[in-house]
Amino acid sequence: MAEHLPVLVAAIVEAFAGLGPGTTVVDGTCGLGGHSAELLERYPGIRVVGIDRDPDAVAHATERLGKFGRRAVVRHGRFGEWLEQLRAVGVEHADGLLLDVGVSSPQFDKPERGFSFREAGPLDMRMDPGGGPSVKDFLESAPEEEIASVIWRYGEERLSRRISRQIKLAIAEARLSTTVDLAEICRRAYPKGKHRIDPATRTFQALRIHVNDELGELERALACVPEGMAERGVVCVISFHSLEDRIVKNTFRDWQQQGLGRILKPEHVTADEAERGVNPRARSAKLRRFAWGEVEQDLGADKYRSKKHRRKP
**Within its chain, how far is the Cα of 249 from the centroid?**
15
Determine, yes or no, domain membership for 131: yes
Per-residue pLDDT at 301: 41
* Complete DSSP assignment for 253-290: HHHHHTTSEEEPSSS-EE--HHHHHH-GGGGG-EEEEE
Last residue of a domain, one of 178, 212, 246: 212
Indicate if 237 and 99 belong to the same structural domain: yes
Give mean pLDDT, residues 130-159: 96
Determine, yes or no, domain membership for 244: yes
Indicate if 122 and 154 belong to the same structural domain: yes
Indicate if 146 and 177 belong to the same structural domain: yes
Indicate if 259 and 248 belong to the same structural domain: yes
Indicate if 198 and 72 belong to the same structural domain: no
Determine, yes or no, domain membership for 110: no
CA distances (Å), origin 278, targets 7, 48, 275: 10, 27, 5
Per-residue pLDDT at 279: 85
Determine, yes or no, domain membership for 154: yes
Last residue of a domain, one of 146, 180, 212: 212
Buried b (16+ CB within 10 A) or exposed e, 172-198: eeeebebbbebbbbbeebeeeeeeeee
Higher pLDDT, 114 or 99: 99
Per-residue pLDDT at 4: 63
Q: How far apart are the first and last CA of the chain?
A: 47
Last residue of a domain, one of 159, 177, 212: 212
Q: Mean pLDDT lowest for which of 53-62, 242-251, 300-309?
A: 300-309
Per-residue pLDDT at 309: 32
pLDDT > 90 in the chain, percent:
77
In this structure, are residues 99 and 236 in contact, taking their beta carbons and an 8 Å threshold?
yes
Q: Which of 124, 186, 123 is nearest to 158 (CA)?
A: 186
Determine, yes or no, domain membership for 3: no
Banded pLDDT at 35 (limits 50, 70, 90): very high
Indicate if 194 and 66 belong to the same structural domain: no
Q: Which of 36, 22, 152 is nearest to 91 (CA)?
A: 22
> What is the extent of the structural domain holding 276?
9-105+215-309
Indicate if 38 and 173 belong to the same structural domain: no
Q: Mean pLDDT lowest for which of 26-30, 120-124, 151-155, 278-282?
A: 278-282
Please report, for the domain that includes residue 139, its CATH number. Answer: 1.10.150.170
Per-residue pLDDT at 131: 82
Determine, yes or no, domain membership for 1: no
CA distances (Å), origin 245, targets 15, 182, 279: 18, 27, 20
Banded pLDDT at 300 (limits 50, 70, 90): very low
Indicate if 165 and 148 belong to the same structural domain: yes
The string of pLDDT tens digits covering residues 158-176 is 999 999 999 999 999 999 9
Banded pLDDT at 221 (limits 50, 70, 90): very high
Residue 32 has pLDDT above 70, yes or no: yes
Per-residue pLDDT at 153: 97
Determine, yes or no, domain membership for 16: yes
> Is 278 buried (19+), middle (13-18) or exposed (0-12) by CB count in 10 A?
exposed
Indicate if 173 and 204 belong to the same structural domain: yes
Determine, yes or no, domain membership for 113: no
Please work out, in degrees rounded to the nearest 5, the angle formed at the alpha carbon of residue 295 by the alpha carbons of 242 and 265.
Answer: 35
Indicate if 200 and 230 belong to the same structural domain: no
Please report, for the domain that includes residue 37, its CATH number. Answer: 3.40.50.150
Q: Which of 54, 102, 47, 59 is nearest to 214 (CA)?
A: 102
Higher pLDDT, 5 or 53: 53
* Number of structural domains in the chain: 2
Residue 59 has pLDDT above 50, yes or no: yes
Residue 135 has pLDDT above 50, yes or no: yes
Residue 299 has pLDDT above 60, yes or no: no
pLDDT averaged over the chain?
90
Indicate if 175 and 240 belong to the same structural domain: no
pLDDT > 70 in the chain, percent:
91
Per-residue pLDDT at 77: 96
Higher pLDDT, 4 or 156: 156
Indicate if 80 and 21 belong to the same structural domain: yes
**Within its chain, how far is the Cα of 72 from the centroid?**
21
